[in-house]
Structure 1
Amino acid sequence: MSEITPELVRHLGVLARIQLNDEEVEQLTGQLDAIVDNIAKVSEVATADIEATSHPIPMQNVFRADEVGDLLTSAQVLQNAPDSADGRFRVTAILGEEQ
């Protein structure tokens, strides 16, 4: 027996503020009923002893290890900066205060 009725589709259309004509209601009734049936079939197959998965194959982190390497000094970092002050990059204000 169908769970999705034309009356239910019309009601959902009203809730969603979608104006549906009779042809659209008939088409959506069939489509939504098929969707509900397919969800029910999947629910029948899903069991508690099967572990949930987010991916069909095992995944591993593909990034390299985070290791400390040679660091630049402040002077090296700022050597090509167009403007610097007090060991920091100096940029123009973006809020219109210094224009």
Structure 2
Amino acid sequence: MWPWSSRSPSATVTCLACGDGIPRSAAREYDKYGNQWDRRDKEFEHLCPTCHNELCHQPRDELEDILVELHAGEEETDAFLARYLATVEDRYGRVEEES
């Protein structure tokens, strides 16, 4: 767990998306495992309100596992996205674009 002082509302945290320092009391907790309600032995990252509002708030079951499995961030974006799309289509069916 985080030290008590970093959980204080007056503490400053860094937004993981834009890098801005913001008061902890204004920040939104981000749980990369997608289950913020299970707080046991977790360290949360934080987002500023602007970056939090820009997130997709849809369920992301298994997303982190797929990203780790496909070694996200270790190759060119286009190659990674092609492998990601193929993996998702293989597991869940064809991805339809909204019009």
TM-score (norm 2): 0.23
TM-score (norm 1): 0.23
Larger radius of gyration: 1
